[in-house]
Every structure is written in C-alpha cells, then in structure tokens.
Amino acid sequence: MMFLRALALTAAPLGLAATAALAPVPAVAQQNGLAEVQAHLRAINSMTANFSQTDARGRTLTGTLALKRPGKIRFEYRGVRMLVVADGTRLNFLDYDVGQQQSWPISDSPLSVLLNPNRDLSQYARVIRNDGNTLMVEARDPRRREFGRITLAFARNGSGPGGLTLTGWNALDAQNNLTQVRLTGQRYNVPVADSLFRFEPARGRGPRR
C-alpha cells in the first residue's frame, strides 16, 4: 500500500524483521504484555516525537510526529512536501509535489492500534517479545490481510505512561514491503493544537503550518 511505503521512518532498525526467529512467548507473558500495552495506550491523550523512516529500498526520511486522541495523527516530513495525517475519521496521504492524495478509513490502517486504544488488543495482536527491557507486539486483522501487519516496539521506562515508551514500529504490507520507524524525543500528554490535523488538498500546494 502507498500508505505503508509513505511511512518508511527509521534511522536504525528495530530488529523486528527477524521476529520469526523469536521463541514463542508463554501464555502468561502474552496476557501480561498485552495488558501493559493496553494500559500504556489508554494513558496517552497526546504525544509528540521526532521520527526517522526507512523504506524497503533503504531510503530514509525524517520529520515530526503529533498524536492526539481520538483518532488524530500527523507525520510531517522534512525536505519533501509530503504529509500523512489522520483527522479523527480518515487517514490521508498527501504528496504536494505531484498533486497526489489518497485516503483510507482509520480502521483500515495498521496505525489504528495507536489511534484507538479502546480496541481489545487480544482480538488482533500478540506479544512476540517480553523481557525486562523490551516489549514487542505484532498486530494484524486476520479478516483483512491485505492491510498488512505492524509490529510495535516498547522500552520499559518507569517514567513513561503505563511504564512503557513507544520506540518505533515496523510495518509490512501485503507485498512484503517493509517500512521501519524509529522515534526519539517522545513527549506524552502535552498540548497539541487541533489545527495540526487540518490540511490543504494536494494540488501542488504545501501543507498548512
């Protein structure tokens, strides 16, 4: 999907591409890990961070991320006139240089795991790593495999919401195109203006500031 390729954000791999080699996580660790992630997501009203993104071809882009509940997220890229923004209902990909715009319901995006914390993670996610330092969760909709899957990585951090900090994710689309995302400078529950989630149509104009 163009959306997943647009979200190729990471300066350093998270080590998620080799998740098939990880040992199965015991049932108790599965249950506890999902509960921790759910608590973390429900404790967040807003978030800002810097991101770096690397796509399947090794191209890296950087920018800033802003998230606000319910259902709002914005990836603003540096050096290119491209924007990914969810306005509470739909997720939009805009390329102002070529005048291209695509849109999907938020529920059809792998990022819905971040945008809707009230969903029951046990219905579509599993823990693939749970140790003293790292918690990794893979999420996919078994009824909609064409939407791909996303693997979220969290660091255990006593000062983070629910004791966790989201460090990044890998997104794999149905064509096995891997997008890696790395976050730095995370700030939680800070003021985020609603105006950030408004945007101009992609008609050769830059994103609204």
pLDDT digits (tens, 9 = 90+) for 175-186: 788 889 999 999
pLDDT above 90 (res 112): no
Mean pLDDT, residues 36-41: 94
Residues in a beta bridge with 154: 135, 166
pLDDT in tens, 89-106: 999 999 998 999 999 888
pLDDT above 80 (res 206): no
Mean pLDDT, residues 150-157: 94
Average predicted confidence (pLDDT) for the chain: 84
Q: Which of 122, 156, 9, 147 is nearest to 73 (CA)?
A: 9
**Pairing between strand 100-105 and 125-130?**
unpaired
pLDDT at 8: 37
Contact in structure between 66 and 77 (CB atoms under 8 Å):
no
pLDDT in tens, 137-153: 998 865 655 567 889 99
Choose between 107 and 83: higher pLDDT. 83
Residue 197 has which token pair? 């989630």
pLDDT at 173: 78
Res. 3 pLDDT band, cuts 50 70 90: very low
pLDDT at 77: 95
For 113, the enclosing helix (H) or strand (E) is helix 112-115
Res. 18 pLDDT band, cuts 50 70 90: very low
pLDDT at 144: 58
pLDDT above 80 (res 11): no
Query: CATH: 2.50.20.10, 3.40.50.410, 2.40.50.1020, 3.30.1360.200. Which one for 2-186?
Result: 2.50.20.10
